[in-house]
Amino acid sequence: MLFRNVYKLLTAVIVAVSFSFFPTALIAQDGPTYEEILQGFADPERWLTYSGDYSGRRHSPLTQITTQNAHQLSPAWTFQTGTTTRGRGFETVPLVDDGVLYVTGSNNYAWAIDARTGRTFWQYRRNLPDDLTYGASAPVNRGFGMLGNRLFMATLDAHLLAFDRRSGDILWDIELADYHVGYAATMAPLVIDGKVIVGISGGDYATRGFIDAYDPETGDRIWRWHSIPGPGEPGSETWPDDPDVLARGGGGTWMNGSYDPELDLIYWGVGNPNPDYFGDIDLEIISTQTPW
């Protein structure tokens, strides 16, 4: 009787341990290298960066689904996220590697999902502050960046996170900017050789746009480029000669850029200047153009 009880206990422990490691074991231990990301669509079973490759064209070469057979598609499974953004839904692009979907969602949720069954390997939900600024008005996220066994996600409180893609554990968490001022981050990091490139949201607030590069291993910042020039920098002559104005000039970099590896150049769009809605300036313009 004692032996039987001990056997049952050991069996329960083994089963519990097996299930605790099961999801991690199903995720490939070696994630994509920079050279593999550089190959873009060479392997049609992988989607390793936001646009599929560095060009930003976002066009898959797959030909199995056509206009002639698309009507035959039917749902294989449904995954309930438990979160969405009212009026905007989801803006993310899942990354795909070895049959696993790496997906971000509204309000800084994230998941690793079995593409065959819809089963969740792990889930993450960020504990966001209750006094978000721009992040509260646009709580979307556009996706992960990936390199090796690390995933990178920008957050609504203007942080950059590195995950262990096998377990979902946070490896490092660094602040991009002070969200209290109006900063947030919603874009999918662009990962190139030895750098994680991120932009910033919040150009409708008194912020100054920038693009950053971070070390994927440590989270240390390598460089920062401002979209609004500082005093004496090229382009500053088109702005008022006032450092305070330049420091809140807007120019958010919230949409993902592209990369030319041959020229080693990044191409990045920039958002509106600030102020675009600022008290007396806009009111004066409106009053000269409307009867009231």
For 153-170, how does the pLDDT look when each residue is reduced to its tens digit (9 = 90+)? 999 999 999 999 999 999
For 249-289, how does the pLDDT look when each residue is reduced to its tens digit (9 = 90+)? 999 999 999 999 999 999 999 998 887 655 554 434 343 34
Look up residue 124 and give its two tokens: 């993450």
For 119-134, how does the pLDDT look when each residue is reduced to its tens digit (9 = 90+)? 999 999 999 999 999 9
Q: What share of the chain is helix, strand, coil (3-state, %, to 5)?
A: 20, 25, 55
Confidence of residue 18 (pLDDT cuts 50, 70, 90): very low
Q: What is the number of residues in the chain? A: 292
For residues 144 and 129, what is the distance between their CA atoms, to the nearest angstrom?
Answer: 21
For residues 200 and 50, what is the distance between their CA atoms, to the nearest angstrom?
Answer: 16
Look up residue 201 and give its two tokens: 């949201």
pLDDT at 13 over 70: no
For residues 2 and 145, what is the distance between their CA atoms, to the nearest angstrom?
Answer: 53
Q: Under 8 Å CB-to-CB from 6, ≥6 apart: which residues?
A: none
Q: Which residues pair with 95 in a beta bridge?
A: 102
pLDDT value, residue 16: 35
For residues 256 and 219, what is the distance between their CA atoms, to the nearest angstrom?
Answer: 20
The domain made up of 2-57+76-289 has a fold known as: Methanol Dehydrogenase; Chain A (2.140.10)
